[in-house]
């Protein structure tokens, strides 16, 4: 597996990572045994970059990773996140207070069965706490040997620049794919300027480029995508049409549309690492094979023309979650 360097502090990871949010059952029920087998297979084929969060399964995801990596710690680069919480009424909230940073990190390390996590992100920026205070606490975690590198997720350009002035930010994680391209305007150039790596979550558009979504009937009753405007009614009908040019290129090459979507992302810069999520070994193998696909100039031009920024119908999250982005 090819590798890529994220940031300027020495973090080197597999050219694609494995998003672990779907383990176990974030979108739909899943088998723990299947997830652990996939995590082990990832290391076997050189996909060593695992992405988790204390939000996923409210800690159960980290516990699963802790069980899976036992005895194989050196095979993985582990990233997790803090900051997405629930308020007293059970509604989504964000907590970036320094005292919470320390508390959340200790809890994640316990669930992961680790003394140190490789990369620790603030999952969402807390507008109530100056970023300098939050990152200052995160920097203390580095000094304490509890994490090696720091990251932010879904941060605004000014926030990222201010955070980086307190302590080097190694990675910015944001949604980026053929149907979510807004960061090309400001955040991707800023990352290149500051020497910050960029991790692209939902690189397959939450499955839209996976070829299995045919309509709303695809989703189970518990599938969270049912709440996302892009996967509803006329929006979904319009968005499914955007997949056509990706599928055409894939058919001409004899590969899967998801591989074309990943190859496109990899072509956008050496500081970009996509983290497609899956529980299935066959999907993992297919995603990993995309690392060796080099799209031609004509193919790239076709995709850029067919799916320009802003072409997707609907917001990427429900209204409440949208308010928590780019803080």
Q: Which helix (H) or strand (E) holds 198?
A: strand 197-201
* All residues at 6 or more sequence positions from 134 whose CB lies less than 8 Å from its CB, including other chains: 96, 97, 98, 101, 122, 125, 126, 163
Given 27, 56, 149, 201, the catalytic residue: 56
Instruction: Find, among 247, 272, 317, 262, the residue nearest to 295 by Cα.
Output: 262
DSSP string, 257-275: HHHHHHHHHHTT-TTEEE-
Instruction: Find, among 324, 209, 325, 323, the residue nearest to 277 by Cα.
Output: 209
Spatial contact of 305 and 287, defined as CB atoms under 8 Å apart: no
Active site residue 56: yes
Spatial contact of 309 and 182, defined as CB atoms under 8 Å apart: yes
Token representation of residue 191: 């990352």
- Encode 263-272: b = buried (16+ Cβ within 10 Å), e = exposed: bbbbebeebb
Token representation of residue 264: 């496109």
* All residues at 6 or more sequence positions from 48 whose CB lies less than 8 Å from its CB, including other chains: 1, 13, 14, 42, 75, 76, 77
* Distance set, CA 299 to CA 202, 235, 251, 310 (Å): 22, 26, 13, 20
Spatial contact of 225 and 28, defined as CB atoms under 8 Å apart: no
Catalytic residues: 56
């Amino acid at each position: 597996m090819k590798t890529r360097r994220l940031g300027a502090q020495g973090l080197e990871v597999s050219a694609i990572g494995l998003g672990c949010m779907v383990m176990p059952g974030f979108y739909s029920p899943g088998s723990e045994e299947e997830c652990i087998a996939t995590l082990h297979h990832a290391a076997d084929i050189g996909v060593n970059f695992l992405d988790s969060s204390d939000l996923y399964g409210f800690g159960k995801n980290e516990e699963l990773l802790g069980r899976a990596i036992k005895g194989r710690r050196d095979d993985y680069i582990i990233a997790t996140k803090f900051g997405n919480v629930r308020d007293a009424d059970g509604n989504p909230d964000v907590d970036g207070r320094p005292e919470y940073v320390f508390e959340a990190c200790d809890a994640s390390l316990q669930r992961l069965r680790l003394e140190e996590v490789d990369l620790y992100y603030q999952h969402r920026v807390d507008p109530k706490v100056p970023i300098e205070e939050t990152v200052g606490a995160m920097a203390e975690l580095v000094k304490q040997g509890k994490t090696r590198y720091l990251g932010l997720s879904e941060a605004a350009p000014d926030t990222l620049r201010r955070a980086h002035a307190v302590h080097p930010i190694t990675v910015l994680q944001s949604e980026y794919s053929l149907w979510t391209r807004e960061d090309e305007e400001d955040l991707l150039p800023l990352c290149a300027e500051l020497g910050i790596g960029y991790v692209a979550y939902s690189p397959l558009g939450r499955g839209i480029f996976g070829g299995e979504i045919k309509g709303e009937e695809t989703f189970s009753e518990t599938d969270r995508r049912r709440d996302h405007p892009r996967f509803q009614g006329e929006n979904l009908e319009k968005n499914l049409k955007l997949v056509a040019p990706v599928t055409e290129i894939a058919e001409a090459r004899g590969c899967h549309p998801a591989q074309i979507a990943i190859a496109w992302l990899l072509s956008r810069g050496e500081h970009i690492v996509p983290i497609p999520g899956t529980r299935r070994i066959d999907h993992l193998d297919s995603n990993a094979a995309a690392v060796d696909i080099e799209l031609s100039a004509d193919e790239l031009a076709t995709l850029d023309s067919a799916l320009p920024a802003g072409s997707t119908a609907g917001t990427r999250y429900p209204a409440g979650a949208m308010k928590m982005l780019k803080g």
